[in-house]
Amino acid sequence: MVNFLLGQQSGFTKYPCFLCMWDSRDRAQHYTKKDWPMREELVPCKEKNITNNPLVSRDRIIFPPLHIKLGLMKQLIKAVDKD
């Protein structure tokens, strides 16, 4: 829903995050690269998966606490040694 409000392309996109330029297809760097470049503007551009002008400002988007907790737990479980 956030992608719709911010004018982003739906479906499996290369840059799904509205805050940074996280590359969803760069599997080699998902857990090694920590600093992804920030998105400067949300202007329509097919290369960056923005199809329309945003309906709301990025500053007005509030993350649900449950999603944050689930994301942190997922990272913790993947980081635990499986031996």
Taking only the tens place, the pLDDT of each residue in 25-81 is 888 887 788 788 888 887 887 778 888 888 888 888 887 777 778 878 887 888 886
Domain annotation covers residue 77: no
Write down the pLDDT at residue 16: 79
Write down the pLDDT at residue 28: 85
Write down the pLDDT at residue 83: 58
Burial status of residue 58 (CB atoms within 10 A of its CB: 0-12, 13-18, 19 or more) = middle
Domain annotation covers residue 15: yes
Separation between Cα atoms, residue 79 and residue 48, nearest integer Å: 30
Separation between Cα atoms, residue 30 and residue 39, nearest integer Å: 18
Write down the pLDDT at residue 67: 74
Domain that residue 36 falls in = 2-58
Q: DSSP letters along 34-55, please?
A: --PPBP-----BGGGTB-S--S
* 21 pLDDT above the threshold of 70: yes
Number of domains in the chain: 1
Could you give the maximum distance between any two Cα atoms of the chain, in Å?
Answer: 48
Domain annotation covers residue 35: yes
